[in-house]
Structure 1
Amino acid sequence: MLRRRPSLLIRPELDDAPLHKTLRELRPTQQLHGLGAGRTSPAWDPVAELLHATGRDWDRRAHRVSVLARGLPAVVSERWAAERPDDGDALVLRAFVQSARAPAEGHAAVRQAEQTCLHAAAACPEDPTPWLALLSLMHAAAVPVRDAVPVWTQAVNRAPWHRTAYHLLLRYLSPRGHGTVPDMMDFAWQVAFQAPHGSPIALLPVAARVELVAHRQERTGRDALGASGHWNEPRAAREIDTALSRWFHAAAAPHAEAVVDLNVLAFALTRAHRPTEAGPVFQRVGRHMTRHPWDLLPEPERAFHYWRDQLNGRRK
């Protein structure tokens, strides 16, 4: 009798169990007439507890704040910031919420979001996270790269080799952002070989190549199944080798968005026809599929299941 295949876990919180719990606790409040009705503590209290517990793990803080900003009703951050105007965590979350919404609301909203980011940065002088909110805002507002780099520098000066900071600038330098293919690829290669052993920044050239495939796919309309040439180039092989040796096989503690990086690496290995090396990556991924980069394929979930099951030796 065939066993039922476990469902995939495709969620922005990835494998962060405390973050998942906080989102589950607060998401039902969207359906209440009064946010926090029936509660004896403020609706934002679980968020405050989560961010306080995160401490100075800047990598996980950036992940949690960005997911909370997208996943919670905006009124949570509004009320928290209104009731605790000097609370750094409240200001940082509010900065992310406004940065995500402002570009669609017009110039005045963008200026207000910028001021909120700077206010949060002043309240949390050692924290790179407000600068990441400002960098995201600038990207959405199509600010030129030359004006964004100083903001990125503010973040990495506070947290060298901050994964999110490097991926945000990579997105900025992408031809789908505000840069060019040479800008993007040169940046990824340069920082990957400067990063300390065990840093997920070693994967940045692979992430850049995925972005290159996405860019060319948008231009040509061809899906990634017909883009294997990108992964058969000698340089692509060196990029994957670097990610494997300097990050995947390194004895480094898992970072907040390791699930994202593992999915990128697994995707690249399947595209490059390297199944032996892809197997252990899929084992580490488990059920935690991310929509990107599998969305470059016609049937993302089916493709993920196929490779994971085949490489793990499971029966269909």
Structure 2
Amino acid sequence: MLRRRPALLIRPELDDGPLHTTLTELRPAQQLHGLGAGRTRPVWEPVATLLRATGRDWDRRAHRIAVLARRLPAAVSQRWIADRPADGDALVLRAFVEADRAPADDHAAVRGAERLCLRATEACPEDPAPWLALLSLMHSCAVPVKDAVPVWTEAVNRAPWLRTSYHRLLRYLSPRGHGTVPDMMDFAWQAAVRAPHGSPLALLPLAARVELMAHRRGDTPIEALGAGGNWNEPRAVHEIDLALRGWFDAGTPPHAEAVTDLNVLAFALTRAHRPDEAAPVFRRLGRHMTPHPWSLLPEPERTFTYWRDRATAR
């Protein structure tokens, strides 16, 4: 009898079990008959419990808040901040929600989101997350890079090697954002070589190269196939080696977005035709796939599965 291959796990929460549980409990389908109807506790309490348990793990906190802001019904954060207007966690979550939503509205909404971000920085003075919400708002509003860097610096001062901070500024510096290719690549390299051994920032040059590939691919994924040659140039080889030695082989505990970084590393190794080194990366990933960067290629899920099975069968 033929066995069905286990489905891929493609989740914004990645492999974060407690975050997955919270999202499942509060998914929109369960709110059809009124948010929180029949509950004996506030609808926002599971989110509050999750963030309270996260504590000062800034890396996981930034990841969880960003995913919650995108995936929760908007009424959850609205109800929470209405019930607890001075709660720091409620303010930070709402700041992320408004930073994502305000640019699509009007100038008044943007100003309101900015004020909310600043209120969150005052309520949680040691937390880098409110500054990242403000940085996201500035990115959406096309604020020049020179004005955004001081906000990024505020986040970095609170958590010097926080992965999320560097990836957000990388997006800002991208030619698809508000920067240039040289600015993006130089920033990625400087961060990677200065970061402590074992830091996921060792992969920042690979993330920049993927971003460059996305910038150059044109309008259709098939054009990305012709942009793959740059993965074999000497600098790309060095970037992959840095990612392997500086992070993957270092044996550091997994960070909140390790699944994302593993997908980028696996993608780079397949583009560079290094299947032997890709095998342990795919084994660590298992069923976890992220749409980016595989969506740069045709049939991303099928492509991921093909390379994973080919690499792990060696």
What interval of TM-score do these two structures reach, taking the shorter chain for normalisation? over 0.9
Query: 1:310: how far off?
Result: 1.1
Q: Is the 8 A contact 2:132 2:152 kept in 1?
A: yes
Q: Is the 8 A contact 2:222 2:298 kept in 1?
A: no
- Partner of 1:60 in structure 2? 60
Query: 1:224: how far off?
Result: 2.3
Query: 1:11: how far off?
Result: 0.8
- Partner of 2:271 in structure 1? 271
The Cα offsets for residues 163-196 of structure 1, whole Å up to 9 and x where unpaired, read as 0000000000000000000000000001100000
Query: 1:205: how far off?
Result: 0.1
Query: 1:106: how far off?
Result: 1.3
Secondary structure at 1:261 match in 2: helix
- Partner of 1:130 in structure 2? 130
Establish whether residue 24 from structure 1 lines up as the match of residue 18 from structure 2: no
- Partner of 1:214 in structure 2? 214
Q: Is the 8 A contact 1:29 1:35 kept in 2?
A: no
**Equivalent runs, 1:1-316 vs 2, <5 Å:** 1-28=1-28, 31-218=31-218, 223-313=223-313
Aligned identity (percent) is 77
Between the aligned partners of 1:173 and 1:226, the Cα distance in structure 2 is: 24
The Cα offsets for residues 37-70 of structure 1, whole Å up to 9 and x where unpaired, read as 0100000000000000000000000100010001
Query: 1:32: how far off?
Result: 2.5
Aligned partner of 1:139: which letter?
H
Q: Is the 8 A contact 1:59 1:256 kept in 2?
A: yes
The Cα offsets for residues 270-303 of structure 1, whole Å up to 9 and x where unpaired, read as 0000001000000011101000000000110010
The Cα offsets for residues 230-265 of structure 1, whole Å up to 9 and x where unpaired, read as 101100000000000000000211000000000000
Between the aligned partners of 2:49 and 2:108, the Cα distance in structure 1 is: 32
Aligned partner of 2:34: which letter?
G
Change (3 A) 1:245 1:222: same
Runs of 4+ in 1 over 6 A off after TM superposition: none
Q: 20-29 vs 129-138, which deviates more? A: 20-29
Between the aligned partners of 1:164 and 1:171, the Cα distance in structure 2 is: 11
Query: 1:222: how far off?
Result: 5.1
Q: Which runs of 5+ in 1 are unaligned?
A: none
Secondary structure at 2:177 match in 1: coil
Aligned partner of 1:91: which letter?
L
Change (3 A) 1:38 1:140: same
Q: Which runs of 5+ in 2 are unaligned?
A: none
Between the aligned partners of 1:312 and 1:227, the Cα distance in structure 2 is: 26
How many pairs are equivalent? 314
Between the aligned partners of 1:30 and 1:212, the Cα distance in structure 2 is: 40
Query: 1:30: how far off?
Result: 5.5
Q: Is the 8 A contact 1:144 1:178 kept in 2?
A: yes
How does the TM-score come out when normalised to structure 1?
0.97
